[in-house]
Amino acid sequence: MAITIYHNPRCSKSRETLQLLRDQGIEPQIVEYLKTGLAELEIHDLAKALACSLHELLRCKEVAYAELGLSDDSSDSTIVTALQNTPVLLERPIVISDKGAAVGRPPESVLALLS
């Protein structure tokens, strides 16, 4: 089973989720999106996989969220641009498998994707 994690090594929940996957004997494909950035299609695919709105992909408590003037009313194009220019705004970690996708908050929430 192919497993991908959108990972920020500086985030404790992301590190915990990655370790949880490894403890389950899974070495996931790691996407360090802060280094690689996020493509528009990739952002839309993440929202689709998680069955959420683009706004729900955002970390609303990040300083950049307020600095960019983002809100529940922000347009999809504004959100995509924000995530492309400021990828730290992406909720993390996101784990994707053949069975779906989940945000690893708490890390154990990704276990359903493994069975």
Catalytic residues: 11
Q: What is the DSSP letter of 90?
A: B
